[in-house]
Amino acid sequence: MKTTANAASRRTGAICSAIAMFAMTPVTAQTLAPQTLGSAPLCEASAALLIDCPGTAGRCLVVGDNEEEASLFWFRLGDKGIDPTSQRQVALKGSKLGDIEALTGLADGKIVAFGSHSRDSVCTPQKKRQRFGVIDRLTGKSANVAVTQSGPIDCDSVFGKPLPDQPLIRSACQAIEAAEDAAEKAAKQGAKAKKECNQAHAYNAEGAVNVSRTEALDIWIGLRAPLLPHPAGKKGVDLAMLLHLRGLDAYAFDRVAALDLGGFGVRELSYADGWVWVIAGPPHDLGRKDEVRSKLMRFRSDLLGADKIIVPETVRSDLPSSSEGLAVLADKILVLIDGSKATKEQPDQCATPAGFVVLPRPASAMP
């Protein structure tokens, strides 16, 4: 891992305790009843985006699968949520996008799909994951995609050189480099490094949202990992990061926002009616016996421009731990649940089907 000459000075740029905090009032949660989402090859639903239906009237939901590197899927929406029988697959013409974990829309109807930029389970870097693509408006069975290959995950590539003199950027730089250094050490152990790799909390982006109300871009990327140490030294409540994308010509950022998600990272982002909605979950992979519920949270998008820690309102705290897709409608909220890909023995059937839940949008959270 490349470490810049100014690493020592960056460490002095920790978030100062003078950063103010902003809190909202939580909303009561209810019991969930998951439904099956579509069928193979869509098994590991990992991202969602509301769009106008391709070639016809109505609203549809685009879904990314983190094991499908050359396809997206879409479904029609109805009064009861998603129509699981309406699944359509769209082939992406161009370079493959590994580990699609985030989708966001542009004013002209195009879609930006982001790879997670994460490593594999033993911390080996994955070039196909370090990409994002701008996809033409979906029509028919295929769509063109213009892919941009990202640079290395280090401060110079991510934030530019010289490093901007902003406390949050300097703190983010320190956290990212420290996590990537730990991941590099784990990777040298080879196949035995799964536990150490999982504990390294290497760079992993799992959300994207365009909060622009005009044709100009205003895209923020949400990180599942690493997290920022809390400026007040509170243990177990490290902060999640949102990184502001400079443009569509490179995977580079010019601003950082810090979210207090109770020690969780970002698993998905969505935008509606001036609010950014967040699925918050653990920064690491859970074991088969672990059952940690994810949270549904939200905050006003105009807080992204303030120099303060954002403390979102908790809307629900009972989402399945594998919740990875989110869409907010006028009267309901759709949450997609990751499954498991098909096996060689049964290639046409998901080992565990993807799912979804339809949540009522609380009256206090109506547009």
pLDDT at residue 21, as a whole number: 37
Q: Is the pLDDT of residue 4 over 80?
A: no
Residue at 64 is within a domain: yes
pLDDT at residue 267, as a whole number: 97
pLDDT at residue 222, as a whole number: 98
DSSP bridge partners of 242: 222, 257
Residue at 289 is within a domain: yes
Residue 117's CATH number: 2.115.10
Best-predicted range by mean pLDDT among 143-157, 226-240, 339-353?
143-157
Number of domains within the chain: 1
Residue at 97 is within a domain: yes
From 207, 171, 204, select the one nearest 298 (Cα to Cα): 207
Query: Which amino acid belongs to residue 367?
Result: P
pLDDT tens column, 90-130: 999 988 999 999 999 999 999 999 999 999 999 999 999 99
pLDDT tens column, 252-292: 999 999 999 999 999 999 999 999 999 999 998 876 555 77
- For residues 104 and 268, what is the distance between their CA atoms, to the nearest angstrom? 11
From 318, 195, 333, select the one nearest 272 (Cα to Cα): 333
pLDDT tens column, 285-304: 876 555 778 999 999 999 99
pLDDT at residue 24, as a whole number: 40
Residue at 43 is within a domain: yes
Residue at 47 is within a domain: yes
Residue at 292 is within a domain: yes
pLDDT at residue 31, as a whole number: 55
Question: In this structure, how many other beta carbons lie within 10 angstroms of the beta carbon of residue 170?
Answer: 23
**Residue 9 confidence class, pLDDT cut points 50, 70, 90:** very low
pLDDT at residue 289, as a whole number: 55
Q: Is the pLDDT of residue 29 over 60?
A: no
Residue at 9 is within a domain: no
Q: Return all residues near 219 (Cβ < 8 A) that are at least 6 apart.
A: 104, 112, 208, 209, 210, 211, 212, 244, 245
Going from the C-alpha of 101 to that of each of 129, 268, 296, the distances in angstroms are: 10, 8, 17
Residue at 147 is within a domain: yes
Q: Domain range for residue 252?
A: 21-365
How many H helices and E strands in the chain? 4, 25
